[in-house]
Amino acid sequence: MKNILIVEDSKTLNNIIKNELKSLNFDVKQAFTLKDVKELLAKNLFDLIILDLHLPDGEGSELIANIQSLTKTKVIVLTSTKNDNLREELFSYGILDYIIKDKNLLYSISEIIKIIQTIAIKDKDDILIIDDSDFICKQVTTILEPRNYIVSKSNNGEDGLKLLAKKHFDLLILDMELPDIHGMDILQTIRKQQCFINLPIIILSGTSTPEIIRNSLKNGASDFLKKPFVFEEFILKVDLWIDYYKQKEALKEKTQELEYTNKNLQKLVEQEVKKNREKEKLMLTKSRQIQMGEMISMIAHQWRQPLNAISTAINFLNLRVEMQNFDTKTIQEISDKINKYVQHLSQTIDDFRDFFKPKKDVQKSDFVKIIDKTLTLLEYEIKKHNIDVNVITKNKTEFLIYENEILQVVLNIFKNAQDVLTEQNVKKPKINVIIDGTKLSIEDNGGGICEDIIDNIFDPYFSTKSKNGTGLGLYMSKLIVEEHCNGKLEVKNTQFGACFNIILPKNTL
C-alpha cells in the first residue's frame, strides 16, 4: 500500500491527515470535492481512499459501489454521519472501516493510521467459512478480502472437512445449522485431531440460546457470534483470533527449537569445539609456516659466512698445490678449519630441524634452555641488527611442557621486538630477558605499544606492522600459552618499551 487519496472538504483536517501519512512515507494526493475525486480517479490508481461522505457538490457514498466493483482500491470512510443503515450498507460493499469524526480528531486519525499500517504489513492469512448461506459467505468474503484475508467457502460440512484436511487455515468460521452435518458434530470431529487442537473456530449462528453458546464453547469453539452480526465486532474478533493463533504457533515453534537445542546441546557444543579446534589447528599451521619461511632465511644468512670461509680455505689449498708450496702442518690447519665450519653448518641444521619437529608429547624443559635455543636460532639476526640481549636468571625451574610450542611463542615475541627496534631506528636496541622460575619476561626499548590498540594485539588478524604483518603470531602465541599450556600471556608498557610476560602454572612439572 503506497498511493493514498484523501477526500475531505475540510482543508485543515485534510492537511493534518496528509502530513501524518507523508511522515510515514506514503504518497498522498488530496481532493476537496466530488469533481476533484472523479478527475483524480480518471488519471490515477490508488491503493486506498480516505473518504468523507458529505462533500460540497455531492455524496461520497455514490463513489463506493463503483470503486469497489471496478478496482481493488480499499476505502476507509471518515464521516460525521451516524447512520447505522448506511454503515451496514457500506460494509456490505467492502469498506475497511467506518470512522466517526468526533471532537478528538487526533484519535480518529490514529485509528486510520493503525488500519493502514496493519493492512500494509499483514500476511495473506487463510480463512475457511462453512455456511450453507451464499449470502453470508459472500458477505464475509466482501468484508475480509479487502483486509488481505484469503477466504475459502463451503456450503456443507462434508466438503468443509475435506477442504480443512487439504489446506492450512488460520481461522474457521462455522455455522451450526448445516444441511448434512450439525456444526456441533463438526466442532467435535475437528477438536479430536491433534493438528487442529489450536485452530481458532468462530461459531456464526442464527440461534444464540445460552445452552447453545455454552455447548459450543465447551466443545472447543473459540468464540460465538449471532447472525446478523455487527461488522466491526466481527472484524475485530477475526483479527484478534488470527493474531493470537499466529503468536501461539510462533511460540510453539520457538519452544520446539529450544527443546531441540537443549536436547542436543552437548552434541552442538562438541561440534562447535571440534570446528574451533580444526580452525585453530589450521591457524597454528599457517603461523608455523610463516615462521618456517623466516627460519629458512636465517639459515641462508647463517650459512653464508662459513661457506665463504670453506671456499676461501679450499682456494688457498688449491693455490698452494699449484705452486707446490705446502706442508703437512699447513694442510692440517686448513683441514681443521674446514672441519670446524662443517660442524657449525651441521649444528645449525640440527638446531633448526629440532624446532620444526612435530613433538606431540610433553617433555621436561625450563626457560633457560628455551632462551638458549631461541638465541641460537636468532644469532645472525641479533648480530645483524646490533641488538644487545641481556638475560638475567633469578630462578631456574623445570616443568613438563610442549617445548617447541613455547619456543615458537618466545621466537615470535623476539622477532616482534626486533621488528619494532628496526622500524623505530632505536640507536641502542636492547632486549632484556628475566627468567624467574615459571615466569619469563621479555622487554624491549622500542617505545611501547599505543594504548589505543594494546588491548587488541592478541586478536586474530590484528597487526601493528607497517607491512608483511599477518596478525596471527600473537593470537597463536596466546592460544598456545593459555589453551595448550594452561598458562597466561600478557603485555604491558614500561618506561622503555613493551614487556611480554609468559606465566606457566607452578605445578606444570
Which of the two residues, 309 and 509, has the higher pLDDT score? Answer: 309
pLDDT digit string, tens, across residues 458-485: 887 656 654 555 556 787 788 778 877 8
CATH superfamily of 3-121: Response regulator (3.40.50.2300)
Spatial distance between the Cα atoms of 156 and 186, rounded to a whole number of angstroms: 10
How high is the pLDDT of residue 337? 72
Beta-carbon contacts of residue 310 (< 8 Å; ≥ 6 apart): 338, 341, 342
CB 4 within 8 A of CB 27: yes
Classify domain 264-357 by CATH architecture: Orthogonal Bundle (1.10)
How high is the pLDDT of residue 486? 87
Strands ordered across the beta sheet of 439-444 = 388-396, 430-437, 439-444, 498-503, 488-493
Spatial distance between the Cα atoms of 467 and 455, rounded to a whole number of angstroms: 21
Q: Is the pLDDT reported for residue 25 higher than 90?
A: no
Q: Record the pTM.
A: 0.50
How high is the pLDDT of residue 333? 74
Q: What percentage of residues in the chain have a pLDDT greater than 90?
A: 30
**What's the whole-number average pLDDT of the chain?**
82
Strands ordered across the beta sheet of 223-226 = 149-154, 125-130, 171-174, 201-205, 223-226
| CATH code assigned to 125-260 | 3.40.50.2300
**What nine digits make up the cell of 332?**
692440517
The answer to which of 18-27, 360-369, 393-402 has the lowest mean pLDDT is: 360-369
How high is the pLDDT of residue 290? 59
**What nine digits make up the cell of 195?**
493438528
DSSP per-residue letters across 46-68: -SEEEE-SEETTEETHHHHHHHH
Spatial distance between the Cα atoms of 26 and 50, rounded to a whole number of angstroms: 13
Extents of the domains making up the chain: 3-121, 125-260, 264-357, 359-509
Establish whether domains 3-121 and 125-260 are of one fold: yes
How high is the pLDDT of residue 509? 44
Q: Which CATH number fits domain 359-509: 3.30.565.10, 3.40.50.1000, 3.40.720.10, 3.40.50.720?
A: 3.30.565.10
pLDDT mean over 130-153: 90
How high is the pLDDT of residue 221? 93
pLDDT mean over 369-384: 83
Label residue 142 by pLDDT band (50, 70, 90): confident
